[in-house]
Amino acid sequence: MSRKTILIALTTGILGLLCGWGLGFNMAPTNGLPIRVVADYLHAVLQADRTFYTQHVVERMEAMLIVNATEKWREDRTLPLPAQFFKESSRGLQVRGKPFRYRLISIWPINQENEPESEKDRHALEQVVNFGEVAEREIELEGRKYHQTIFPDRAVSRACVNCHNAHEGSPKRDFKLNDIMGGLEILIPLE
**Smallest separation (angstroms) from ligand HEC to the CB of 45:** 16
Q: How far apart are CA 77 and CA 68, in angstroms?
A: 9
With left for phi above 0 and alpha for psi between -120 and 50, is residue 140 left, alpha or beta? beta
Site string for ligand HEC, 65-84 (x = CB under 6 A): ------x---------xxxx
Is there binding between residue 181 and ligand HEC (CB under 6 A)?
yes
Candidate segments 28-36, 72-80, 143-151, 154-162, binder of ligand HEC by CB under 6 A = 154-162
CA atoms within 13 A on the CB side of 74: 3
Q: Three-state SS for 164?
A: helix
Is there binding between residue 109 and ligand HEC (CB under 6 A)?
yes
Q: How far apart are CA 34 and CA 38, in angstroms?
A: 7
Q: How far apart are CA 1 and CA 4, in angstroms?
A: 8
Nearest to ligand HEC of 35, 90 (CB atom):
90
Q: Which of 118, 136, 153, 120 is nearest to 188 (CA)?
A: 136
Is there binding between residue 110 and ligand HEC (CB under 6 A)?
yes
Is there binding between residue 114 and ligand HEC (CB under 6 A)?
yes
Is there binding between residue 159 and ligand HEC (CB under 6 A)?
yes
CB 153 within 8 A of CB 181: yes
**Smallest separation (angstroms) from ligand HEC to the CB of 96:** 21
Would you tell me which residues interact with ligand HEC (CB under 6 A)? 71, 81-84, 87, 104, 106, 109-111, 113-114, 153, 155-157, 159-160, 163-164, 181-182
